Every structure is written in C-alpha cells, then in structure tokens.
Amino acid sequence: MRAKRFIVIMVVSLFLNGLFGACSSRQSPDATSVSDVRDNAVSETGQEETGKVEEADMNTGSGTEHPVPQELENIPEEYYLAADQKGTLVELTYNTYESKSYEKKRKKITKRAIVYLPYGYSEKNKYNVMYLMHGGWSNETTTLGTPDHPNSFKNVIDHAIENGKVEPLIIVCPTYNNESPEDSADYTLAFYTLTVNYHNELVNDLIPAVEGTYSTYAKSTSPEDIKNSRDHRAFGGFSMGSVTTWYTFVNCLDEFRYFLPMSGAMDYEGDDVDAAVTASGHSPGDFFIYAITGTDDFEYGHLTRQIKGMLGMPSGNFISTESEESGNIAFRIKDGYSHDGRAAMEYTYNGLMWFWN
C-alpha cells in the first residue's frame, strides 16, 4: 500500500512544482504564468465516493455559531488577475538546525520564508497568522511566488481581502526542505523525517523570527506569549504540506488553534493524533480542524479513513460539527476534484475565508 502511494504521489507531484500558479489562460503583469495541472490519479478505495463522511459510530455536535459552509466556493476568475489593493511579499531569513539532529543543535543552517503582508499593513494593528506549507517537489516560493515574481494565488488573496471575504492577515510560506533545496523531491526523507521533525524548527525558530518581526497578537516571542496567542495562529498545507499539518497538530497544540490539512494524511487511522490531544491536556474546544479533499484525489481514501478513525475514538477528543461552537472537525469533500493545483488553491482559499471570519 505504501509503495503504491509513493508511486502515485511521485508521478503527480512532479507536475505540482508550480501548483499555485495561474492557469495558462490566466495571466497578469504581476503574476507568474504556470500551467494548471490536472492529474488522472484514481482513488485507492474502490468504494462509492460521496461528499460526506458517514456519521454512524462517530462523535458529532450541532450548533450555529461560526458555521462552516457546506459547499466550497470556487475562486472567481477575475481574482487571478492583479488587484487594485495589493499586499506585499517579503523574504524573511532565519537560523535553524539540521532536522535529524535538531535537539543536539550540531549543524546550524540559514533558511528563508516568504511572508505575505496585507495591503495597508501597519505596525499599529495586530494580525492573525497563517503558516502555509507546500507539498512535495516544492519550496517556500511555490505557493505565493517571490517578491519579484508573485504568482496568481497571491492575486487571489489580495482580491479576497479587498472584497472583505478574508480578514487582513499575515501568511507565512516556509519550507520543510532542510539541508538541500531538493529535499522535498525525496519522498522517504520528506514523509518519514522532515515533516515529522518540522515542529522543532517551527516553534523554536520560525515563529519567533516571524512574530518578532511583524505585528501579531504575540506580545513577545517568549514561549509563554506564543502559547497565549495561539487563538490567532493557524497551520495548513496541501499534500505533503498536509502531512506536515498533522504532525504540527500532534506536536504544537500549545501554539496553534486552527489547522487546515488538505489532501494528505498520516499512515495510521487516528490513534496517535488522539493520544497527542490527551497528552497535551487540551480539551475538544481548544482547537479546530478544517480538513478538505476531493473525490478523485488519490489521498481521498487515506484522509477519509484517518478522519473517521479520529471521530470514532472513545476519548471523545474529536467531534464532527458544522460550526465551531459545537465541535472541532469539519470535513469537506469536493466532488470531482483530484490532487492538483486547482484543488490546492480553492481549498486554501476556502480555509482562509473561514478562519477568523
């Protein structure tokens, strides 16, 4: 099963290096034109695929406060063009350590993150922060581009903020690439080591670098103040970025409230995720997971099984819900969507419209 998963992910991901770029027919002077990717990967499950997960034997809740939309919105075509009110991309460099021996701090390395600042950014205001991780065969520039060459998804965010669909926020695009920019092309290294260990760098190095530089809800970069501002911090990612999101959930509940795993699962069915919540001391009301995938995505079966496993845990740590007040997992499945750039952009767009809105 893992070998088959590796082959499918490798083939598809080779075409996703620019997955957040514009479709070939969508061009603007402010965007890098990238071909829209459509893969033909087939779900492993072989079962009938619907837009909902069956709720039998699952923990469920009901409520109306801060509801999660039943249907995902498509990105308006005009959003791919440059907006009138443009946010800014900046490069942020910071020091961290080699992943495998991180705790021993044997080898210091310097890394870069791409940071999105909304139009009108001011040090007088405080901003929520979304940490958004790329997938395989990619890097920190894949999602939004660079300051000199922003891609079309940066335009999408500009429009969404300008039109009031997304609250002005800071978006951080880091990378789990560690010693080499080619690390994400090594599936075994990425899946079993770099995504697993990334929380060390995230909490100890990246968050202090970002939130010590820009105006967020953290009063300082002390561990205590970072934990106290967790309600204003989210982590998400597509594909291997989703795997990183799950490991961030397991290890960083003290630092994050919101999670956006998209089309990527861990290799078990919820036991370790459940154990992490119990060990953290957090209650079901302390976090929220907005998980998304597509019916034609090769990760559909993996992610669905993991979510169902989590919701079936006797601990009651996970509660399926349609609103934030009554549970902590909303799982949306987009009919006909596969593991491609369109899915990655639209899932992220929908997550950003819901968080803090």
Instruction: Give tens-digit pLDDT for 137-175.
Output: 999 999 999 999 999 999 999 999 999 999 999 999 999
Q: How far is CA 240 from the centre of its chain?
A: 9
Q: How far apart are CA 198 and CA 89, in angstroms?
A: 23
Give the structural domain span for 82.
2-354
pLDDT of 51 over the 90 cut: no
Q: What are phi and psi of 87, to 5 degrees?
A: -75, 180
Q: Determine the average pLDDT of the residues in 276-299.
A: 97
Angstrom CA distances, 161 to 27, 124, 127, 153, 308, stand at 20, 18, 13, 13, 34
pLDDT over 50 (residue 344) = yes
Alpha-carbon distance of 13 to 126, in angstroms, equals 36
CATH of the domain at 293: 3.40.50.1820
Segment among 21-35, 63-77, 81-95 with least mean pLDDT: 21-35
Q: What is the mean pLDDT of the chain?
A: 87
CA 76/CA 34 separation, integer angstroms: 18
Average pLDDT rounded to a whole number, residues 10-36: 39
Q: How many domains does the chain have?
A: 1
The answer on pLDDT for 19 being more than 50 is no
Mean pLDDT on 11-29: 42
Rounded CA separation 206/95 (Å): 8
pLDDT given for residue 54 in this prediction: 55
pLDDT digits (tens, 9 = 90+) for 231-278: 999 999 999 999 999 999 999 999 999 999 999 999 667 789 999 999
Name the token pair of 303.
């992610």
Model pTM? 0.87
